[in-house]
Amino acid sequence: MWRMLTEPMSIQVYCGGRMNKSPQSKIGIRIVCMSDLHNIDLSYKVPAGDILIVAGDICSVGIEDEIKDFDEFLALQNHSAKLVIAGNHDFVFEDYTPENAKKLLKHGIYLEDDCVDIYGIKFWGSPWQPSFGGWAFNVQRRHKLAEVWAKIPSDTDVLVTHSPQHGILDAVNGDHVGCKDLANTLQRVRPKLHVFGHIHQGYGMTKRNGTIFVNASLRDEEYKLVNQPIVVDL
């Protein structure tokens, strides 16, 4: 059952581990952030929380059997809501219309340039990223990507994208490779939380100008499962 918070939001953030209080505590909503799972094992332990966010790259090669395994993984999680976007490895979602793609997940809410309101918090999810290498959900930088990000409502509380914005948790060997158009859009939207992945080396979190930025990539640049989910309390 979904519930609404009636008291003001406060924010606590930590990376990995657990806090000494139960989920759905009076402080707010506990959000568990993950990305770049690349065929996570069913036995993988996910921290408890209210909302699970998976910010893309569920698959390795992007076939439907991988999505079925992932949906089985979602079924094992006890979070009240499980929000999912696709990433550049998730070709199978790109092969369907957004409405039909939603049907691939029976145990999660798939978002593709779409929103959902949970506990009075407005979430927007989008899978796109700057074009490279012919992967799924690639869009040319500048005008085309700007059109994608223009769809994001200004009152979005939690933004979930596969791509990072330029300059924040997006460095590959010292070079920032995130999306400048997304960075420009975030100056308009200013969400409380932005969850993404895609750039494995950028794993971590930071807070700037009132927004918490979380790169939740579980895999490192060698695709080894070395990082922990990041948990945020809103």
pLDDT of residue 142: 74
Type of residue at 57 = D
Taking 50 as the threshold, does the pLDDT of residue 21 lie above it?
no
Nearest CA-CA partner of 181 in 113, 128, 132, 111: 128
Taking 70 as the threshold, does the pLDDT of residue 7 lie above it?
no
CATH architecture assignment, domain 12-233: 4-Layer Sandwich (3.60)
Nearest CA-CA partner of 79 in 117, 31, 112, 39: 31
pLDDT in tens, 56-113: 999 999 999 999 999 999 999 999 999 999 999 999 999 999 999 999 999 999 999 9
What value does the mean pLDDT of the chain take? 88
Give the confidence band of 27 by pLDDT, cuts at 50, 70, 90: low
Q: Would you list the domain boundaries of the chain?
A: 12-233
Residues β-bridged to residue 157: none
Its sign, for the CA torsion 89, 145, 114, 157, is positive
pTM of structure:
0.88
pLDDT in tens, 131-147: 888 889 988 887 789 99
Nearest CA-CA partner of 191 in 206, 213, 176: 213
95: tokens are 């092969």
Regarding predicted confidence, which is higher, 12 or 5? 12
